[in-house]
Amino acid sequence: MNSERITKRVLFTVSLFILIISTGILASLIKGAMPAFKEYGLNFIISPDWNPTEGRESYGALPFIFGTVVSSVLALILCIPLASSTSLFIAEYYKKTKVASILKTMVDLLAGVPSIVYGLWGFYVLRPVIVSLGLSDQGFGIFTSAIILAIMIIPYATSLSNEVIAMVPNELKEAAYSLGATRLEVIFRVIIPNAKSGIVASYILALGRALGETMAVTMLIGNANVIPKNIFSTGNTMASLIANQFGEAEGLKLSSLIAIALLLFAITAVVNASGKFIINKLS
């Protein structure tokens, strides 16, 4: 065998790792989740009970699926006005200026803050604000987590949005201006329609980020294993439940936590894949 073929063989063989790891993750999660699904069947997904008391053990994922989706969607809703304003600031109003590059650097810094530090800041700074506003007694809950999540996902929401907004051809904007449109009208009638799919994709990917966030949420959501009554009450997310309860878990409880990890894996994979699908269609 000549050296070229050996090299190609090596490249190919190493690339198999990605395949092995991906299928391995899925296989291990399914295997670990099996006892829980055998015990509860699909009821596991829709059951609202999470009761580890010995003898009366009962595990259901619904409160956590609910908590995860509600906190992430709320985070996305809070994130959109902030992130889209920032994108318009950087990629339209102050495009290619010093002030835009400073703003962009600061937004990038947000991505460098570890999740646990967001949690600390949320706990010591944001939570007292929530309490003093009278939104909840102790400041823990879905809403508090969603605010922190919204801040955390801003860099992911803006980076692609910035690119697609900056890429809207100048000649289209000029065409609209030459007809007398104001900048506001150019933004809503030309820039956003032309950059729409890229903007949507960036928010989908940001949502994917929020769904899997763990530490900051664990520290702020209140870790109540019930379906939250409203956005200001406490709850729990799938990731946060795993972080809290994995340490002392065994048997059916361990399997249930792995089953929740499997569900979380599936939800984020679907969300991320749809975001990537839109991006691939763009290019």
Partner 1 sequence: MKKNNLDINNSILTIKDLSIAYVKGKYAVKNVSAEIEQNAITAIMGPSGCGKSTLLRAINRMHELYPNISTEGEIFLNKDNIYDMDTINLRRKVGMVFQRPNPFPTLSIYDNVIAGYKLNGIKLKKNRRDEIVEKTLTDVSLWTEVKDSLFDKGTFLSGGQQQRLCIARALAYNPEVILLDEPTSALDPVATARVEELLIDLKKKYTIVMVTHNMSQAARISDNSLFMYLGESVEYGKTNSMFTNPIDSRTEAYLTGQFG
Partner 2 sequence: MNSITINKNISPGIEFKDNSVLRKFKNRLFKFIIILLSIITISPIVLILSKLIIKGFRQINIDFFTQVAPDTFEAMTAIASGDIIPGGIANGITGTFLIVIIASVIAIPIGIITGVYLYENPGKRYANLIRNLSDILQGVPSIVLGIIGYLWVVINVTNGFSALAGSVALAIMMLPLIVRSTEETMKMVPENIKEAAAALGVPYHKIIIRVMIPSSFSGLLTGILLAISRVLGETAPLLLTTLGSSFINLDVSKPTSAVPLLIWNFYNDPNMINLIWSSSLFLIGLVLALNIIAKRIIANREK
Residues 145-204 that bind partner 1 (CB under 8 A): 169, 171-182, 185-186, 189-190, 193-194, 196
> Does the protein bind partner 1 through residue 13 (CB under 8 A)?
no
Token pair listed for 188: 């809503």
164 alpha carbon, distance to own chain's centre:
21
CA atoms of 214 and 212, how far apart (whole Å) = 6
CB of 81 or CB of 251, closer to partner 2:
81
Q: Which stretch binds partner 2 (CB under 8 A): 42-50, 52-60, 112-120, 133-141?
A: 112-120
CA atoms of 140 and 152, how far apart (whole Å) = 18
> Does the protein bind partner 2 through residue 6 (CB under 8 A)?
yes
> Does the protein bind partner 2 through residue 34 (CB under 8 A)?
no
Instruction: Return the residue of 214, 223, 234, 236 that touches partner 2, per CB under 8 A.
Output: 214
Contact map string, positions 152 to 191, toward partner 2, x by CB under 8 A: --x---------------------------xxxx-x----
CB of 7 or CB of 197, closer to partner 1:
197
Asked if 59 contacts 44 with a C-beta cutoff of 8 angstroms, the reply is yes
CA atoms of 143 and 72, how far apart (whole Å) = 10
> Does the protein bind partner 1 through residue 77 (CB under 8 A)?
no
User: Pick from 129, 80, 130, 123: which is nearest to 231 by CA?
Assistant: 130
CB of 191 or CB of 206, closer to partner 1:
191
CA atoms of 79 and 81, how far apart (whole Å) = 6
> Does the protein bind partner 2 through residue 123 (CB under 8 A)?
yes
CA atoms of 179 and 257, how far apart (whole Å) = 60
CA atoms of 70 and 235, how far apart (whole Å) = 10
* Contact partner, 265, from partner 2, partner 1, none, Cβ < 5-8 Å per class: partner 2
> Does the protein bind partner 1 through residue 96 (CB under 8 A)?
no
CB of 194 or CB of 233, closer to partner 1:
194
**Residues 10-41: b if buried by 16+ CB within 10 A, e if exposed:** eeeeeeeeeeeeeeeeeeebeebbebbbebbe
Name the site residues for partner 1 (rule: CB under 8 A): 169, 171-182, 185-186, 189-190, 193-194, 196
